[in-house]
């Protein structure tokens, strides 16, 4: 197992009476792409700020690369690249100029910094804009430049705070691909904070769900859904046309009810709900063939049969519905 | 075999050492200062300000040069300090050089500092810089240092320009003492602008909008240069002792009013500059007949003049340090969020 690179122990941050982060425990191992998922104001950014030593925790400890971020932030910041939400650059410098400035703040000699900046500009796909001032950059370009800015110091960990907000879908895909590729190629640990489920699902090995300052679940998407929907891991949706029997006789009141009963009796099925000729069947294991058999056997017309696996969306919804009562 | 290898390797560490020195990495603080200086000098507001200051200086220098002939009188105790008059005389159409500096200095300081921190915050660069491996105070210190460097270079070149032009025009070189007086005047001007610079940096840390902090700085400046004297005049009239009052209480009252005036940094500056540039000034407070009796109307030596303005100088530096300390504390406690 890879060594632990980020370790949060009982981390708490309070602003007056308001608790932004509430006794958070989290470990992230080297080379992982970890997604911190939560709605706005859940405390994701505050957690990240504490990891970088940019704000002090009320209690608890943060260790990044085995260094305490609160007492020794400089060493942590030497190893961690941070891309803030909606990153800004010095508008009157070129992209290269901005990168070189960052590199020199990291004590990289100017010559080396220039060469590296150019390489990175190509890597993040800004090779056409080497001489352009960043004031004229679009949002997506700035975000890419931000990634280059993070990479120029050869970080062991990169922390991205909502890096994709405000970029168009195509740009988002390219950006995410870039992150994953970099993480795989160079073994960089990535912490990715977002409120967008699909992006997190797309790139992250592991996900932590964050609501109101608490990490309420963590694991990969599959284990999360297992944890949450332990009784109904699969949902099968069946669309039925309201024609019963071969003769096409009128629908009787009893038929759908009968079908529902029959379905409930199938081994592995837990619940059956009917709505507008659409059956939602929750089951503990994959019993799609049996269900198909039962429906066809009942004489109803089967329009479609759709096996639904719980995605992050459902996990998210379920949590945040409950989140209000936490 | 081993010996040869050792011999071959022996000179290497030395070489590497020199290479390292040549290729040495510049300290991050210096890099930020360099960038800030470049930003300041390249900015439009600096060009505008330097334009205004050069124009007014040229104007006051012109009036001083045209009037310098009539300014020298026989038996003038300051006759030996002919050159200093370049900075202080005028015919009333345009104020002299020192008045311009005391008026425009604050504007210069405020405009160089009012957006030091909040513009970084609004541009979203603050959190990016703060996530680099540098101490947090580097940024604030570098902003101050850069602006101070720019101001110093500007004041010294301006002062030397005026001296040079004066030298060409009147043909009398300044005496060493005059030169030292002018240098101390320039240093004093730098301290004065540094105070306003720090005040505006303080506002830039406290207020998140650059416009708010600029307005706050300008209103403090206006308050001290226009309204404060009015308020002190009111207090003066209200607390004036009757004409029958003994001399001691009249003097006490005058001292009280003067001390009230001295709360204003511009008052401190103007007292200090007049003492430095007009060597015949021998006291900044009221003098009784007994004290003046028997004095020879001669100028003070430089050391005595500086001694006279030492409290003013200390006050100015103290106010500067106070502003800097406050902005330092606020900045270190600030939570750095992205924009």
- For range A299-318, the mean pLDDT: 73
pLDDT of A184 reads: 87
Distances (CA, A) of A262 to A55, A129, A255: 60, 65, 10
**A318 lies in some domain:** no
Closest by Cβ to B133, choosing from A77, A109, A110 = A77
**A315 lies in some domain:** no
Bridge partners of A275? Answer: A278
Domain's final residue, options A201, A228, A255: A228
**B4 lies in some domain:** no
**A317 lies in some domain:** no
ipTM of the complex: 0.80
pLDDT, one tens digit per residue, over A169-225 is: 888 888 888 888 888 888 899 998 888 777 887 788 888 888 888 888 888 877 776
Distances (CA, A) of B308 to A102, A287, A311, B257, B283: 49, 99, 80, 19, 7
**A96 lies in some domain:** yes
Domain count of the fold of chain A:
2
Residue A160 and residue A49 share a domain: yes
CATH of the domain at A281: 3.30.70.100
pLDDT of A311 reads: 63
**A316 lies in some domain:** no
pLDDT of B322 reads: 94
pLDDT, one tens digit per residue, over A213-229 is: 888 888 887 777 666 66
CATH of the domain at A109: 3.40.50.300
Cβ <8 Å between A74 and B134: yes
Cβ <8 Å between A84 and B124: yes
| Domain ranges, residue B75 | 26-212+222-333
Residue A97 and residue A75 share a domain: yes
Residue A206 and residue A240 share a domain: no
CB atoms within 10 A of CB B287: 13
Nearest-angstrom CA–CA distance, A153 and B28: 14
Residue A291 and residue A172 share a domain: no
Nearest-angstrom CA–CA distance, B195 and B112: 12
Q: Distance (Å) from the C-alpha of residue A145 to the closest C-alpha of chain B? A: 12
**B16 lies in some domain:** no
Which residues contact residue A257 at a Cβ distance below 8 angstroms, ignoring those fewer than 6 apart? none
**A143 lies in some domain:** yes
pLDDT of B19 reads: 45
Q: Which one-letter DSSP state was computed for residue A249? A: B
Residue A57 and residue A13 share a domain: yes
pLDDT of B6 reads: 42
**B6 lies in some domain:** no
Residue A152 and residue A179 share a domain: yes
Which residues contact residue A214 at a Cβ distance below 8 angstroms, ignoring those fewer than 6 apart? A22, A23, A24, A326
Lowest-pLDDT choice from A51-55, A114-118, A298-302, B271-275: A298-302
- For range A28-46, the mean pLDDT: 86
Mean pLDDT of chain A: 83
C-alpha A11 chain-centroid distance: 21
pLDDT of A243 reads: 60
Cβ <8 Å between A101 and B339: no
Domain's final residue, options A210, A228, A246: A228
Task: Compare B86 and A74 and report the one with higher pLDDT.
Answer: A74
Closest chain B CA to residue A90: B125
Read off the pLDDT band of A152 (50, 70, 90). Answer: very high
Domain's final residue, options A228, A255, A279: A228
Domain count of the fold of chain B:
1
- For range A69-83, the mean pLDDT: 91
> Residues in chain B with pLDDT < 50?
1-22
Residue A263 and residue A210 share a domain: no
**B231 lies in some domain:** yes
Closest by Cβ to A102, choosing from B132, B335, B336 = B132
Residue A76 and residue A141 share a domain: yes
Residue A298 and residue A204 share a domain: no
Q: If we measure between CA atoms, which residue out of A53, A324, A31 comes closest to residue B335?
A: A53
Residue numbers in B near A111 (CB within 8 A): 23
- Maximum CA extent, chain A: 85
pLDDT of B24 reads: 67
Bridge partners of A302? Answer: A240
pLDDT of B7 reads: 43
pLDDT of B22 reads: 47
- For range A63-73, the mean pLDDT: 91
Closest chain A CA to residue B122: A88
**A83 lies in some domain:** yes
Lowest-pLDDT choice from A252-256, A280-284, A303-307: A252-256
Instruction: Please report the number of interchain residue pairs, chain A to chain B, with beta-carbon separation below 8 angstroms.
Output: 85
Residue A201 and residue A158 share a domain: yes
Bridge partners of A81? Answer: A158
Place of tokens 């008059």: B85
Which residues contact residue A158 at a Cβ distance below 8 angstroms, ignoring those fewer than 6 apart? A80, A81, A82, A83, A150, A151, A179, A188, A189, A190, A191
> Which class for B2: exposed (0-12), middle (13-18), buried (19 or more C-beta within 10 A)?
exposed
**A287 lies in some domain:** yes
Q: Distance (Å) from the C-alpha of residue A177 to the closest C-alpha of chain B? A: 23
Bridge partners of A191? Answer: A34, A159
Question: What is this structure's pTM?
Answer: 0.81
Nearest-angstrom CA–CA distance, B313 and B234: 27
Residue A100 and residue A244 share a domain: no
Closest chain B CA to residue A79: B133
Residue A189 and residue A48 share a domain: yes
| Domain ranges, residue A100 | 4-228
pLDDT of A324 reads: 46
Lowest-pLDDT choice from A35-39, A48-52, A245-249, B182-186: A245-249
Answer whether B13 touches A (CB < 8 Å). no
pLDDT of B64 reads: 83
Nearest-angstrom CA–CA distance, B87 and B100: 10
Q: Among positive and negative, which fits the CA dihedral A144, A148, A150, A151?
A: positive
pLDDT of B333 reads: 84
């Amino acid at each position: 197992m890879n060594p632990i690179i980020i370790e949060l122990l009982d981390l708490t941050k309070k602003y007056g009476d308001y608790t932004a982060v509430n006794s958070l425990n989290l470990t992230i191992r080297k080379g992982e792409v970890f997604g911190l998922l939560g709605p706005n104001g859940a405390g994701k950014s505050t957690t990240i700020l504490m990891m970088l030593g940019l704000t002090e925790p009320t209690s608890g400890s943060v260790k990044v690369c085995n260094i305490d971020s609160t007492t020794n932030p400089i060493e942590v910041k030497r190893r961690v690249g941070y891309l803030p939400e909606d990153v800004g650059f010095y508008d009157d410098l070129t992209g290269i100029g901005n990168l070189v400035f960052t590199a020199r703040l990291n004590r990289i000699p100017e010559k080396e910094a220039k060469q590296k900046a150019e390489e990175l500009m190509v890597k993040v796909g800004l090779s056409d804009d080497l001489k352009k001032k960043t004031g004229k950059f679009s949002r997506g370009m700035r975000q890419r430049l931000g990634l280059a800015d993070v990479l120029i110091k050869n970080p062991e960990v990169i922390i991205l705070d909502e890096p994709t907000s405000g970029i168009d879908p195509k740009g988002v895909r390219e950006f995410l691909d870039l992150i994953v590729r970099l993480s795989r190629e160079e073994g960089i640990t990535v912490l990715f904070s977002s409120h967008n489920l699909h992006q997190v699902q797309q790139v992250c090995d592991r996900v932590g769900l964050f609501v109101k300052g608490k990490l309420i679940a963590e694991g990969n998407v599959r284990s999360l859904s297992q944890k949450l929907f332990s009784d109904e891991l699969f949902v099968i949706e069946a669309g039925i046309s309201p024609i019963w029997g071969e003769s096409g006789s009128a629908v009787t009141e009893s038929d759908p009810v009968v079908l529902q009963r029959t379905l409930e009796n199938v081994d592995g099925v837990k619940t059956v709900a009917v709505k507008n000729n659409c059956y939602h069947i929750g089951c503990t294991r994959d019993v799609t063939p049996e269900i198909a058999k039962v429906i066809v056997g009942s004489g109803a017309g089967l329009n479609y049969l759709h096996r639904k696996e719980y995605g992050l969306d459902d996990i998210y919804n379920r949590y945040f519905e409950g989140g209000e009562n936490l | 075999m081993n010996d040869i290898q050792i011999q071959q390797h022996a000179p290497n560490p030395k070489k590497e050492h020199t290479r390292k020195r040549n290729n040495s990495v510049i300290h991050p603080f210096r890099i930020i200062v360099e960038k800030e200086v470049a930003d300041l000098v390249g900015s439009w507001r600096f060009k505008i300000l330097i334009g205004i200051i050069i124009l007014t200086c040229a104007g006051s220098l012109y009036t001083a040069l045209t009037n310098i002939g009539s300014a020298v009188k026989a038996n003038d105790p300051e006759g030996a300090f002919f050159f200093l008059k370049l900075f202080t005389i005028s015919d009333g159409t345009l104020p002299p050089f020192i008045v311009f500096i005391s008026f425009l200095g604050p504007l210069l300081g405020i405009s160089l500092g009012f957006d030091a921190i909040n513009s970084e915050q609004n541009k979203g660069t603050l959190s990016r810089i703060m996530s680099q491996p540098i101490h947090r105070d580097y940024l604030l210190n570098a902003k101050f240092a850069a602006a101070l460097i720019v101001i110093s270079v500007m004041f010294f070149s301006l002062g030397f320009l005026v001296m040079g032009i004066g030298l060409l025009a009147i043909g009398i070189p300044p005496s060493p003492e005059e030169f030292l007086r002018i240098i101390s005047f320039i240093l004093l001007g730098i301290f004065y602008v540094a105070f306003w610079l720090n005040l505006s940096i303080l506002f830039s840390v406290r207020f998140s909008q650059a416009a708010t902090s600029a307005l706050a700085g300008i209103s403090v400046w206006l308050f001290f240069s226009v309204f404060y004297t009015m308020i002190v005049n009111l207090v003066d009239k209200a607390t004036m002792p009757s004409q029958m009052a003994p001399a001691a209480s009249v003097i006490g009252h005058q001292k009280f009013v003067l001390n009230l005036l001295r709360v204003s940094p511009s008052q401190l500056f103007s007292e200090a500059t007049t003492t430095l540039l007009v060597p015949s000034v021998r006291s900044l407070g009221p003098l009784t007949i007994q004290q003046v009796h028997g004095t020879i109307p001669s100028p003070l030596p430089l050391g005595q003049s500086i001694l006279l303005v030492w409290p003013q100088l200390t006050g100015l530096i103290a106010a500067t340090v106070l502003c800097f300390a406050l902005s330092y504390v606020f900045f270190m406690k600030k939570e750095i969020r992205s924009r």
